[in-house]
Homo-oligomer: A and B are copies of this chain.
Amino acid sequence: MLKPLGDRVIIELVEEEEKTASGIVLPDSAKEKPQQGRVVSVGTGRVADNGSKITPEVEEGNLVIFAKFAGTELKYQGKDYLVLREDDILAVIG
């Protein structure tokens, strides 16, 4: 199991068929093309300046959209993942 730290979130990339089903089509002309993925693991959250934890808004299983060039790619037990900061997630679909 991979457990992200702080405000990080681990995303499993979503295949094209699932994208069509969820209704997202990415425009060809977009300057910064967003991508889709499913959240598989969520960190404990960012620490605010006063030392308190900020509970993440996303949860395991959420289908999310994020900016294309965000995060770090990772292959674990044969699957591709992306490690993002929660702030790189634009929206939840559903």
Chain A contacts to B: CB under 8 angstroms: 1-6, 8, 10, 23-27, 29-32, 34, 41, 44, 46-52, 54, 57-58, 65, 67, 72-78, 80, 83, 86-87, 89-94
Contacts and interface: CB of A to CB of B under 8 A. Distances in A.
How many copies the complex holds: the figure is 7
B94 A1 contact: yes
Contacts of A94: 1, 3
In the complex, which of the residues A5, A24, A50, A73 has the most CB atoms of chain B within 10 Å of its own CB atom?
A5
Contacts of A29: 73
A6 B87 contact: yes
B2 A74 contact: no
Given A50-B49, A50-B50, A54-B47, A74 B26 contact: yes
